[in-house]
Structure 1
Amino acid sequence: MSLPFDLRALRVFLTVADRGGFSAAARELHVAQSAISQTIANLERHLDLTLFHRHERRISLTPEGQALQSHARELLDRADAAHLAMRELHGLVKGEVRIGIPSMLGSYYFPPLLMGFKSRHPGIRLTVVEAGARRLQNMIAAGELDLGVVIDDEQSRRMERRPLVHEEMVVCVPRTHPFAGRQGVSPEEFFAEPLVLFQDGYFHREFVDALSQQTGHSANVAFQSNLIPLTKAIVRQGFGITTFLRRVIDEPELAAVSFDPPAWLDLSLAWAEGAYLSRAESAFAEFIEANRHSL
């Protein structure tokens, strides 16, 4: 069932009531007085109510008009708020971006990008979901997450992707370890050591598992932890070695040594193929693509 009036008619009605006359409302709205009179007459006819007492020199609201006045003002306030919200979204003044980031990238790569985007769009709320890259990929496929960082591999080829990081995976050892002064460490040597690894689902663990499968060497897993500070502490104390993206090894007590041959990892910002991205999400993806070389 259609409403017996529209927002324009309500705005005219409120202007007449607030200004106390048809001619004053016409001047306020910059329309002919006859148009104002016709709008009010149509509104009264559709409602089957008399909204104004018409006196010789003035008008006043009837009880029915007074009842409509409060409802009309509330409706127009809500309509104005909705219109403002849409304009703000159009202008990227407000909105939300939910981005899934693996802990290693969230701690060491993404902060400058997140702060840069926030500085440009201070009204947009950023929500960061931490999980392994494979888990994030599954969340995107299931519609639980719109944007996330994934591994560039066969499983992610069916997603929309923007290149993000091309970074070397290196062996992380204490400065006192025999590997620390080496130019490179072979997979065989790496797997002969007790290892501190992330749990399944993280690109760190997938990298090690893939290397194990490619070389035929089994991992000697001494500790499993998804906590980077804890993993570093275990390595510093000499209870095992691990592998990180090179930038993560930023402490003087730890050394970064290349694999022999060197190993590289490609990660991308991704979303479901054909998925709709909001203006805020699209702006975030464009910002990441334009600024990823600063990583």
Structure 2
Amino acid sequence: MELRNLRYFLAVAEQGGFTAAAEQLHIAQPAVSMAIRKLEQQLELPLFDRQERQVRLTSEGEVLVRHARRILQAVQDAEREMRELHTLERGEVRVGIPSMLGSYYFPPILMAFRHRYPGIRLEVVEAGTRKLQQMIHRGEIDMGVIVSDTPPEELETHRFLQAQMMAILPVDHPLAAADNISYDAFFAEELVLFKEGYFHREVIDRISHEAGVTPNIGFETNLIPLIKQIVSHGYGITTLLEMVVIDDPSLVAIPFATPVWLDLSLAWRKGHHLSRANQTFVDLVLEQARPVQGR
């Protein structure tokens, strides 16, 4: 099988049609159709069920999709590793980071990496931890930050930070001077939360389930500055890592009566050989890791 034909086949499968695939690949649609016909003739199997304008994978096509993704990703990995084999003057690191850490933990690390290795292209993707796991699996990023309490079996993880989620309140809130806050007291308030898929939201969903309550969600947004403004003006409370509000005099961070600790790790596909550029980035993150805090 030719790699080009596999690439065209995967594009049709993912885009749901020959025309859409051709547009994505920036080639003429007949070239895509010809490649698929050649692949089907070579395999002596139908890969797509063509009904009027709808194109769907056959069961045989679904099997080939899984292999095609692995094959094309392996080729891409090999090409990148060969380019980077002898030097770190070139290369690429694609890393996914949740917005909270991307804004308040990683900037010094990213700048230090860029300063040490100016020839390496650094692509940073912001997304929730669940989305990042999917992107790692699909090969869209090389690695990502996940909460590693229950890491997926297909990922290799290396912890770099253990941090406590805190209840965040305005300084004039009645509970602002408390040593800690109970789940009951927290969930009695109107909440400002991230959208689903982010570890910030998953913490709330988990502890609300354990407490047997339904959160009273007044605002949903992934914009941290907006969350802080809403809370500081008294329109709700939230949970964040303490690092997010440590320099904000309008907000206070209070631990939960039952502390909520998070183990944050860098993760990549298990069995995947990291390129030199990626391994160098991992080494820097672990080198700069904050000491593990006691529970």
TM-score, normalisation: structure 1: 0.68
Query: Is the Cα contact below 8 Å between 1:108 and 1:248 reproduced in 2?
Result: yes
Confirm or deny that 1:260 pairs with 2:254.
no
Aligned length: 211
Q: Deviations over 1:208-259 (max 9, x none)?
A: 0001111112100000000000001100111100000111113000011110
Question: Is the radius of gyration larger for structure 1 or structure 2?
Answer: 1
Q: Deviations over 1:40-98 (max 9, x none)?
A: xxxxxxxxxxxxxxxxxxxxxxxxxxxxxxxxxxxxxxxxxxxxx96865221111101
Percent identity over the alignment?
A: 52
Distance in 2 separating the partners of 1:260 and 1:293: 24
Distance in 2 separating the partners of 1:116 and 1:294: 19
Alpha-carbon distance change, 265 to 126 in structure 1, aligned in 2, over 3 angstroms:
same
SS at match of 1:90: coil
Confirm or deny that 1:219 pairs with 2:195.
no
Confirm or deny that 1:286 pairs with 2:283.
yes
Query: Is the Cα contact below 8 Å between 1:171 and 1:242 reproduced in 2?
Result: yes
| 1:1-295 matches, cutoff 5 A | 90-249=86-245, 250-293=247-290
Residue in structure 2 matched with residue 68 of structure 1 by the alignment: none
What amino acid is aligned across from residue 206 of structure 1 in structure 2?
E
What amino acid is aligned across from residue 283 of structure 2 in structure 1?
E
SS at match of 2:176: helix
Query: Is the Cα contact below 8 Å between 2:84 and 2:277 reproduced in 1?
Result: no
Distance in 1 separating the partners of 2:280 and 2:197: 28
Alpha-carbon distance change, 164 to 216 in structure 1, aligned in 2, over 3 angstroms:
same
Distance in 1 separating the partners of 2:271 and 2:176: 47
Q: CA deviation at 1:294?
A: 7.2
Alpha-carbon distance change, 106 to 187 in structure 1, aligned in 2, over 3 angstroms:
same
Distance in 1 separating the partners of 2:83 and 2:157: 29
In the alignment, structure 2 segments of 5+ residues that lack a partner are: 1-80
What amino acid is aligned across from residue 107 of structure 1 in structure 2?
S
Distance in 1 separating the partners of 2:212 and 2:256: 16
Residue in structure 2 matched with residue 29 of structure 1 by the alignment: none
Distance in 1 separating the partners of 2:127 and 2:290: 24
What amino acid is aligned across from residue 203 of structure 1 in structure 2?
F
Query: Is the Cα contact below 8 Å between 2:136 and 2:144 reproduced in 1?
Result: yes
Greater mean alpha carbon deviation, residues 107-116 or residues 85-94:
85-94
Greater mean alpha carbon deviation, residues 251-260 or residues 90-99:
90-99
Moved over 4 A (4+): 85-89
Distance in 1 separating the partners of 2:255 and 2:130: 25
What amino acid is aligned across from residue 252 of structure 1 in structure 2?
P
